[in-house]
């Protein structure tokens, strides 16, 4: 009979292999189809994360942004996946690493590691399932507050805008909620592509603005804590979790 330890090891090995495969497949098709920049062919690297309840369409937003693909029968994400997409803004070439994980707690990787270094966040709900909107306040905003810097850029995304007949969250309500909480709101459909590109461009632009407007260190700051590394021109160090995925 197999020991408990042996069974657990097999299970983890399976999860690791599964997520490595997906990581690579997403990332290989990540940059635009005509140009594959060399590892250093960019000015800034942003980490963006997708969060929201299970089934709201996070993985399909990611696959739409990265590869212009939609999967009607996609399964719940297990662990973490990511893709990269490069965009030019204000003469800067910005490489964006977009991370995706499961909405369900039991399938998620370690939460703090997922958020670490994130500069922008797609906070996604499904306009046809009201509970996914309610969980934004009940759960997701709290989680962001707990695990990220307060200057993280948050884009509230009402996905599945194609399901007009099933709408359960009025646009005005979500818009007003976003304004009250200092968020930007956009409605998307990963299925028919509506606003997906615009959502991506909006978050990158706002993240860039937040990054360039961050306060400079004071020239004469008085007594100082122990020195820390000066910010690098690339705000987020490159360390894809697998050497195959750049
Ligand atoms: N009609 C419609 N269906 C969508 C849209 N986006 C995603 N879906 C469907 O919604 C289901 C869930 O999509 P996923 O992208 O897997 O959802 P997820 O948020 O990644 O879910 P977890 O990985 O479990 O957290 C799938 O059946 C998708 O085909 C959309 O814009 N419109
Ligand atoms: Mg998913």
Which residues are registered as beta bridge partners of 158? 125, 187
CA angle at 74 for the pair 154 and 199, rounded to the nearest 5°? 25
What is the best residue among 60, 132, 135 to mutate for testing ligand 1's pocket, by most ligand atoms within 8 Å of CB? 60
pLDDT tens, 30-51? 333 334 445 568 999 999 999 9
Residue 111 lies in a domain: yes
Q: What is the DSSP string of 159-220?
A: E-TT-GGG--S-HHHHHHHHHHTT-EEEE--TTT-TTHHHHHHHHHHHHHHHHHTSPPPPSS
Write out the residue range of the structural domain in which residue 206 sits: 33-213+238-245
> Which residue's CA lies nearest to atom 7 of ligand 1?
57
Ligand nearest to the CA of 74: 1
Minimum CA distance residue for ligand 1 atom 28: 72
- Within a domain: residue 219? no
Which is the closest atom of ligand 1 to the Cα of 102?
25
The pLDDT of residue 163 is 98
Is a pLDDT exceeding 70 seen at residue 9?
Answer: no
Asked, for residue 231, whether it belongs to a domain, the answer is: no
What is the pLDDT at residue 132?
98
Does residue 57 surpass a pLDDT of 80? Answer: yes
Domain-located, residue 70: yes
Ligand with an atom nearest the CA of residue 190: 1
**Total of domains in the chain:** 1
C-alpha 69 to ligand 1 mean position (Å): 12
In a domain, 195, yes or no: yes
CB 194 near ligand 1, within 6 Å: no
- Ligand 1 center from residue 102 Cα (angstroms): 11
- Which pLDDT value is given to residue 98? 98
Whether 136 is in a domain gets the answer yes
Distance of CA 109 to the CA centre of its chain: 14
- Report field, pTM of the whole predicted structure over 0.85: no
Q: Answer whether 101's CB lies under 8 Å from 162's CB.
A: no
In order, the DSSP letters of 120-146 are EEEEEEETT-HHHHHHIIIIIHHHHHH
* Residue 167 included in any domain: yes
User: What's 105's DSSP letter?
Assistant: G
The CATH number linked to 55 is 3.40.50.300
196: Cβ below 6 Å to ligand 1?
no
Query: Is residue 72 within 6 Å of ligand 1 at its C-beta?
Result: yes
Contacts with 44 (C-beta within 8 Å, 6 or more apart), sequence order: 92, 93, 94, 95, 208, 211, 233, 234, 235
Q: Does residue 4 carry a pLDDT above 90?
A: no
Give the residue whose CA is nearest to atom 6 of ligand 1.
Answer: 57
| pLDDT > 50? residue 226 | no
The angle at the Cα of 102, spanning 70 to 10, to the nearest 5 degrees, equals 110
Residues 114 and 233: beta-carbon distance below 8 Å = no
Residue 47 to residue 100: CA distance in whole angstroms? 11
* pLDDT value at residue 143: 94
Residue 207 belongs to a domain: yes
């Amino acid at each position: 009979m197999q020991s408990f330890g042996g069974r657990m090891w097999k299970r983890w090995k399976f999860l690791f292999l599964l997520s490595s495969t997906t990581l690579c497949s997403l990332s290989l098709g990540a940059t635009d189809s005509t140009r594959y920049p060399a590892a250093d062919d960019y000015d800034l690297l942003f980490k963006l994360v997708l969060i929201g309840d299970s089934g709201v369409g996070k993985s399909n937003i990611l696959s739409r942004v990265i590869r212009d693909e939609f999967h009607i029968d996609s399964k719940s994400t297990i662990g973490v996946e990511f893709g990269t997409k490069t965009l030019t803004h204000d003469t800067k070439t910005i490489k964006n690493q977009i991370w995706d994980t499961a909405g369900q707690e039991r399938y998620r990787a370690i939460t703090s590691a997922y958020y670490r270094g994130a500069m922008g966040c797609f906070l996604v709900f499904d306009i046809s399932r009201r509970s996914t909107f309610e969980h934004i306040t009940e759960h997701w905003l709290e989680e962001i507050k707990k695990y990220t810097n307060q200057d993280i850029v948050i884009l509230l995304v009402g996905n599945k805008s194609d399901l007009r007949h099933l709408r359960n969250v009025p646009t005005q309500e979500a818009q007003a909620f976003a304004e009250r909480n200092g968020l930007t709101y956009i409605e998307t459909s990963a299925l028919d592509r509506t606003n997906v590109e615009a959502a991506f461009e909006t978050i990158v632009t706002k993240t860039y603005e937040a990054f360039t407007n961050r306060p400079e260190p004071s020239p004469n700051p008085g007594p100082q804590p122990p020195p820390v590394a000066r910010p690098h021109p690339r705000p987020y160090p490159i360390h894809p979790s697998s050497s195959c995925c750049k």
